[in-house]
Structure 1
Amino acid sequence: MRRDSRLSRILHVLIHMAEHEEPLTSEAVAAFLSTNPVVARRLMAGLRDAGFLTSKKGHGGGWELAAPLEAITLADVFHALGDPAVFAFGPTEDQPDCLVEQAINERLAATLDDARAMLLARFGEITLADINADFESKLKDSPWTGKPEFCG
């Protein structure tokens, strides 16, 4: 089963946005995400609607951060992406009248709900500023001396 990497990829784009002074075009975001600009705009629109990004059309336009990194948590980005599934497995409905399946589904669903709640609570404690600080620390310890480029 293919892993959903949208959260990681969008976080990567957002940290790069913080390092660049000019807006990122949908084409640049799409190239990084290995998708087309329509899909990139759809993903970024959730963040714009949540107030974390702005977008401008036309020459010189693109996507820019509308909130400081300290004000955006992993949970915020997760929710702006439409609350994607956290787990690739879950209850089944193959035999809904089977009492064994019902018992399994109840326990599995409750356990997964608890795990999801704990994960999202932790996501709410981590800001993009925390991630950016980790990046800055890695950059400081790196032999590389150039300006961070958008690594798409």
Structure 2
Amino acid sequence: AAVKRGIPVLGICRGEQLMAVAFGGSLWQDIPAQIPESYVKHRQGETTGSYGTHSITIEKGSFLEKALGTRKTQVNSFHHQAIKDVPQGFKVIARSADGIVEGVERVEPLKNYPDGGGMIIATQFHPEVLVTGRDKSFRGIFEMLVKEAAKTK
């Protein structure tokens, strides 16, 4: 409903995965089983998640680069699934060192949506938890989302 109304949407972790599937993408169902060469630990265990455990590389000019002010950062990780095939109209904006998708954003208008739909971004990591730790730069994601939402009618 939010997308149809042009309201910005942020998907986090499972939200990124659900959006990928909803818009025609697919998932790796179990990273360790399906990608045994993956050397990044994507399940950091029983922690608060307020600190990063692996790095991601962020695409130049992407929403994440603008929000965080950097092209490389440390993120938390609590997943064993990930985007396999990115939906049409979306692009990867962040990856972990082993190539796992850590962020996507909509870059093309969505068919059958008024005005092509609103801004859609998604992260595999949990920025809402990372802001409680030492690195406050993750607030930028939410600040930019609120600014975009303020533009909607």
Same fold (TM over 0.5): no
Question: Could you say which structure has the greater relative contact order, defined with CA pairs below 8 angstroms and 6 or more residues apart?
Answer: 2
TM-score (norm 2): 0.26
**Greater C-alpha Rg:** 1
TM-score (norm 1): 0.26
The structure richer in strand per residue is 2
